[in-house]
A = this chain, B = another copy of it.
Amino acid sequence: MGKFIQGGTVQMFNAPSVKSYAAAVGKKEGEGPLADCFDYIGEDVTLGTDSWEKAENMLQKYAFSIALQKGSLAQTDIAMIFAGDLLNQCTASGYAVRDFDIPFVGLYGACSTMAESLALASVFIENGLGGNIAALTSSHFCAAERQFRFPLNYGGQRTPTSQWTATAAGCAVVSSREMPPYINAVTFGKIKDYGITDVNNMGAAMSGAAYDTISTHLSNTSKSIDDFDYIVTGDLGLVGSELLYDLFDKDRVNIQKKHKDCGLMLYDLKGQDIHAGGSGCGCAASVLCGYFLQEIAQGKIKNILFTATGALMSPTMIQQGESIPGIAHAIHISSE
């Protein structure tokens, strides 16, 4: 059943397996350092559709169907889908899942959605609620820019702190304990707001939430960072990662030595003109489902604390003078 610990942690008794996983990405992501890890790389940002939103739907469909294929699963084997994305009304997920005849739980956690969906799927499987449950999310650079900042045609200058929303999707299918990777524990995070109002500095807005969720998870499960090969954050980028180190420094914890950030792994920051790093639901999703899960399955990495981070940034609320709340959810994924 899993043991619930006040503070949002569920410690699994029968650690569910991630039975299958896939990552589908755009052209730019397919030219980055993790190119060899991805199951599908698009030829351009449209993926043969006539809009960026529809291209993002395609990314989710590819990630989902390749994950099924890799796990020798049929659509009818999937009991439920937990999915969400960055677009208003979560249309990337809604319009992708529309074509599957599968019960759907729609989520909004901004860029934390890969952890949110995977955590919920794991809790359901741990409790025998379904045979296989899919966790699915995505983002698309062009669709996100015009929704959250400026239409690309405007040709706006990107600031040094700005991050590049990944054109990417990831899908993980969770089932009962069988083979690694295993889900050992999850922590649902709290909303943390450090008063950041700069829409081009998402890393700063998320670092406080990452700190809170990682600390809570370690404390709730009586673990330290030394129990992990890596503490993986979703998309703090250069700025947010530095702030995370500062926050842990105050607790006399050197998290830097164990830290990996998906936003700093997906691209060649300088060569690909990325500025402070990658971001978007698809960033953490594709790095998890393309790289980390594979490494853990093969036993090359033994334990990670995957902590996807979301900035709950609303252009409307920013115009009303509000700050940007952050959230992070953490998952202990293990080869053991």
Chain A contact residues, CB within 8 Å of chain B: 1-2, 4, 6-8, 10, 50-51, 53-54, 79-80, 84, 87-91, 94-95, 97-98, 101-110, 116, 120, 123-124, 127-130, 147, 187-191, 193, 312-317, 320, 322, 325, 327
The answer to whether A103 and B4 have CB atoms under 8 Å apart is no
The answer to whether B88 and A316 have CB atoms under 8 Å apart is yes
> Which of B10, B94, B110 contacts A312 (CB under 8 A)?
B94
The answer to whether B90 and A108 have CB atoms under 8 Å apart is yes
A318 to chain B, nearest CB (A): 10
Contacts of A101 in B (CB 8 A): 190
The answer to whether A94 and B188 have CB atoms under 8 Å apart is no
The answer to whether B191 and A104 have CB atoms under 8 Å apart is yes
The residue in A79, A94, A110, A317 that gathers the most chain B C-beta atoms within 10 A of its C-beta is A94
Contacts of A94 in B (CB 8 A): 191, 312, 314, 325, 327
> Which of B8, B53, B193 contacts A316 (CB under 8 A)?
B53
The answer to whether A188 and B104 have CB atoms under 8 Å apart is yes
A101: nearest chain-B partner, CB-CB: B190
The answer to whether B105 and A89 have CB atoms under 8 Å apart is no
The answer to whether A105 and B188 have CB atoms under 8 Å apart is yes
Task: Please measure, in the bound complex, the distance between the C-alpha atom of A287 and the C-alpha atom of B90, giving whole angstroms.
Answer: 26
A130: nearest chain-B partner, CB-CB: B4
Task: Please measure, in the bound complex, the distance between the C-alpha atom of A109 and the C-alpha atom of B120, giving whole angstroms.
Answer: 16
Contacts of A106 in B (CB 8 A): 84, 107-109, 116, 312, 327
A234 to chain B, nearest CB (A): 15
The answer to whether A191 and B97 have CB atoms under 8 Å apart is yes
A172 to chain B, nearest CB (A): 17
Given A8-B80, A88-B314, A105 and B107 touching (CB < 8 A)?
A: yes
The answer to whether A190 and B102 have CB atoms under 8 Å apart is yes
Please name 18 pairs of A and B residues whose Cβ atoms are closer than 8 Å in the assembled complex, sorted by A: A1-B1, A2-B127, A4-B124, A50-B320, A88-B315, A89-B313, A89-B314, A91-B316, A91-B317, A95-B325, A102-B190, A103-B187, A103-B189, A103-B190, A104-B190, A106-B107, A123-B124, A123-B129
A151 to chain B, nearest CB (A): 12
What 5 A-B pairs have minimum CB-CB distances, sorted nearest first? A8-B103, A103-B188, A4-B129, A108-B108, A89-B314
A47 to chain B, nearest CB (A): 15
A124 to chain B, nearest CB (A): 7
The answer to whether B104 and A327 have CB atoms under 8 Å apart is yes
Q: A88-B89, A106-B312 are in contact. List 6 more A-B contacts (CB 8 A).
A: A8-B80, A88-B316, A94-B325, A104-B188, A106-B108, A120-B120
Task: Please measure, in the bound complex, the distance between the C-alpha atom of A102 and the C-alpha atom of B94, giving whole angstroms.
Answer: 28
> Which of B54, B105, B128, B317 contacts A4 (CB under 8 A)?
B128
Contacts of A320 in B (CB 8 A): 50-51, 53-54
Contacts of A128 in B (CB 8 A): 1, 4
The answer to whether A104 and B189 have CB atoms under 8 Å apart is yes
Contacts of A51 in B (CB 8 A): 320
A315: nearest chain-B partner, CB-CB: B88
Contacts of A91 in B (CB 8 A): 312, 314, 316-317
Task: Please measure, in the bound complex, the distance between the C-alpha atom of A104 and the C-alpha atom of B81, giving whole angstroms.
Answer: 19
